[in-house]
Every structure is written in C-alpha cells, then in structure tokens.
Amino acid sequence: MQKVLLEDSAGLLVSFKLMKFLSRSAEETQIIGFSLGKLLKSQGVVCLYGELGAGKTTFVKGIAQALGIPESNVTSASFTIIVEYDNEIPLYHIDLYRIEKESDIDGAGIWDYIYSEGITVIEWAERLGKVPDDFIKVKFAIIDEVTRDITIEGIDEKDWNYM
C-alpha cells in the first residue's frame, strides 16, 4: 500500500490510502471488485473513474456478487442511468455516461440515491465533480487490450489482507 500525503482544498495535509493492482483479464478485474464488495458496510459509495471499456461494469459485477446478487443480473446501466437491485443490502448501480451537465445529476435525483441506505456504485464518477473524502474511489487505466491498472483509494490494505 502506498500512503500519500496531499494538500486538500483547505491546504491541510491529508493522507490517502492507495492500493494498486494490475489486472490481466476481465475475470481478475471482477475478482478485485468482489474483494472490495466483501469489505463494504451496509452503506457506502464507490466512485469508478476511467474511459469506455476500462472495466468499470466488470468491476461492478464483482461487487454485486459479493453482496449476493447474481453477476448475470448486472449489465451496463448506460441507458437507464440508475439500476436498483433489491437485496438484503440494496445496491444502486449508477452510470453517468449520458449525463452532460451537473444540473442533470440533481434533476435525476442522483444524490438521493447516493445518500440512501445501501451501496451506491457510480460509473463515470468524473461527471460528479468533487466528491466527499469518505467515498471510495477506484481508477481504471487501460494499459493494453487485456491489462488494466486499477487504483483503489479509501480502503486500508490491512483490511484487504485479512479477508
């Protein structure tokens, strides 16, 4: 784990916990999502960043599986913006790909989902602008056709290791 000290907007030093992974297949990306899903509490927000085809939806399948939702139920939410999974711990899968302005985000009631009971996972979280520090952030970078660099911010590596 890499601990990085950065200045926040108020100029205070904050420590960010970063975990880095190199995924060499869609299956591996799904397993990393599964591992994160197992660490989530009954309420929380996971922001996913990265271009088209980076592996965000694949990662959401892993999170869903960890919560007991069949991965085959999880498909791209691009056309619907929000998919709600009725589950012991509810899962809200949000995809902001089609959102163009921040006012559309408010109009679609996105923040109501984000702050409701359950877990909210947001693809194209870039569109949200700045988000609270307690949101987990996962950044995907495409290295080549089958390789993805995945950085998770906001999870302690010792929790990850003790699963």
* Contacts with ligand ADP, residue ranges (CB under 6 A): 23-26, 28-29, 50, 52-58, 76, 123, 146-148
- The reply on whether position 56 binds Mg ion by CB under 5 A is yes
Please provide the size of the chain in residues.
163
Shortest Cβ 8–ligand ADP spacing (Å): 28
Among Mg ion, ligand ADP, none, what binds residue 52 when CB lies within 5 to 8 Å by partner kind? Answer: ligand ADP
C-alpha triplet 15, 16, 20: angle, nearest 5°: 145
The 8-class DSSP code of residue 72 comes to G
Shortest Cβ 15–ligand ADP spacing (Å): 28
Among ligand ADP, Mg ion, none, what binds residue 120 when CB lies within 5 to 8 Å by partner kind? Answer: none
Do residues 120 and 81 lie in contact, with contact meaning Cβ atoms separated by under 8 Å? no
d(CA 35, CA 76): 21
Nearer to ligand ADP, 123 or 153 (CB): 123
Q: Which two tokens stand for residue 123?
A: 């693809």
Among ligand ADP, Mg ion, none, what binds residue 146 when CB lies within 5 to 8 Å by partner kind? Answer: ligand ADP
Task: Please identify which residue in 23, 29, 30, 57 interacts with Mg ion, judged by CB under 5 A.
Answer: 57
Residues linked to residue 33 through DSSP beta bridges, in sequence order: none
Q: Which two tokens stand for residue 66?
A: 């960890």
Shortest Cβ 113–ligand ADP spacing (Å): 19
Among Mg ion, ligand ADP, none, what binds residue 43 when CB lies within 5 to 8 Å by partner kind? Answer: none
Q: Which two tokens stand for residue 74?
A: 């999880």
Do residues 32 and 49 lie in contact, with contact meaning Cβ atoms separated by under 8 Å? no
Q: Which residues bind Mg ion (CB under 5 A)?
A: 56-57, 76, 123
